Amino acid sequence: MLTEKNKEKIKNFYKALSLVQPSSGKDIGLILIKDETLADLIALTENSNLTAVFELTEDTYVQGFLEELAGALKKGLTVFVRLHQYLDPAIYNQLYLISHAGRMHFFKLEDEILVTLPKEAQLILVSTDEEIEKLNYKNLFEIVGPILRLE
């Protein structure tokens, strides 16, 4: 259950993420949760119908995830990606591209997929302190912008 204090923090985080973006690339937000759920976070967005949610595990079909992520971001949605303890290198590469160039670029069979993120698209990674500590990419903090740690 979210406290009023945390609700306010989350709303301010969303606003800051949408207003403050670098001159090149796209800031990726990171929310470190304790007991909160993705549903709690989505309920506080301006329009929960304009969100997409992905749960990343070691079993995630990477190519399918990248295609769905590109589609959601291209539509200008607010995308929540729930990270656990494993991040596939191909996914990390796309997160890096998003943060530094504001785009995704990958191949689907023989087709080249290039998606430039619209201004209204937001990408927010969600994890816990424990999972981030065990994540196979220790440099994740180099590709995220604003970070919100819920207490």
Give me the residues of the chain with pLDDT under 50, please: none
pLDDT at residue 19, as a whole number: 87
User: Alpha carbon of 42 to those of 38, 51, 101, 108: distances in Å?
Assistant: 6, 7, 26, 30
**Nearest 5°: phi and psi at 73?**
-70, -40
pLDDT for the residue numbered 151: 83
What pLDDT sits at residue 24? 83
Q: How many domains does the chain have?
A: 1
DSSP string, 44-111: TSS-GGGEEEEE--TT--HHHHHHHHHHHHHTT-EEEEE--S---HHHHHHHHHHHHHSEEEEEETTE
By C-alpha distance, which of 1, 23, 5 is closest to 145?
23
Q: How many other CB atoms are found less than 10 A from the CB of residue 39?
A: 9
**Closest C-alpha to 120, from 81, 76, 69:** 76
Domain limits for position 98: 4-149
Q: What is the predicted pLDDT for the residue at 82?
A: 97
pTM: 0.94
Q: Which single residue is written with the structure tokens 């785009």?
A: 103
| CA atoms of 90 and 132, how far apart (whole Å) | 18
CATH number at residue 138: 3.40.50.300
